[in-house]
Amino acid sequence: MKQADALRLFGLTNLSIEADVRRVEVEQKVDFGHRRKRQQSGDEDFYKQFSVKLREEAEAMARHLRHLLLPRKLNRELITARLGELHGETWWDQSVPQSVRENCKKNRDRELASGITVRSEYMIDYSTFGELGEILKANSETFGDMLRDLAGVQRILSNLNTLRGPIAHCKPLADDEVVRLHLGLSDWFRQMS
């Protein structure tokens, strides 16, 4: 056998063995150290104490949570910018339904009372998906040029909020719910004119 052929055979054998090791890792939910390494962080030793299965579930949930956080943050930015433009610094008191203001205040007060660092100085950051929909509904004339159908946006935000529940409570989304999440995000973008 020529040296080049032997080297090629060695490489192919190595790739085959590595593929088998990765397959066994997935099937048996173990980590032999052949997975792609994440960027090292200060808590990497702590992270390794959890099983591969739990780490993989957490990473999947983090991806889904990111998909939910982005439209929520964007809606907050759009509402704040548009209503702030129209009403100045008093937009919150003038344009937000009282029930939403009260619930956001309750959420903020509960956070203050717990002694943890306050998440934001802006009350809108204490709002839920559903409450963002209520703000849009209460200001439909203001957002009419941005949204194709306000009722559709409210339905989409409500569905996204429902999908947020399992992730927020440490449960992975079922495969069909992942599809529903992606469809919901597509619907949301489609509603934005």
Other C-beta atoms within 10 Å of 25: how many? 16
3-state secondary structure 135-162: HHHHCHHHHCCCECCHHHHHHHHHHHHH
Q: Where are the domains of the chain?
A: 1-31, 55-191
Give me 123's structure tokens.
């009350």
pLDDT given for residue 20 in this prediction: 65
**CA distance linking residue 148 with residue 188, whole number of Å:** 10
Dihedral angle over CA of 117, 120, 123, 129, nearest 10 = -100
- The predicted-structure confidence for 117-131, as pLDDT tens digits, reads as follows 888 999 999 998 889
Please give the C-alpha separations between residue 16 and each of 19, 29, 31, 88, 146, in angstroms, as whole numbers: 5, 19, 18, 65, 54
Whether residue 104 contacts residue 127, with contact meaning beta carbons closer than 8 Å, is answered with yes
Please give the C-alpha separations between residue 122 and each of 9, 12, 90, 91, 136, in angstroms, as whole numbers: 63, 58, 12, 12, 17
CB proximity list for 63: less than 8 A, separation 6 or greater? none
- The predicted-structure confidence for 142-167, as pLDDT tens digits, reads as follows 988 888 888 888 888 888 888 888 88
**CA distance linking residue 23 with residue 124, whole number of Å:** 47
- The predicted-structure confidence for 27-74, as pLDDT tens digits, reads as follows 777 776 655 555 555 566 777 788 888 888 888 888 888 888 888 888
pLDDT band at 101 (very low <50, low <70, confident <90, very high): very high
Query: Rounded to 5 degrees, what are φ and ψ at 151?
Result: -65, -40
Percentage of the chain surpassing pLDDT 70?
81
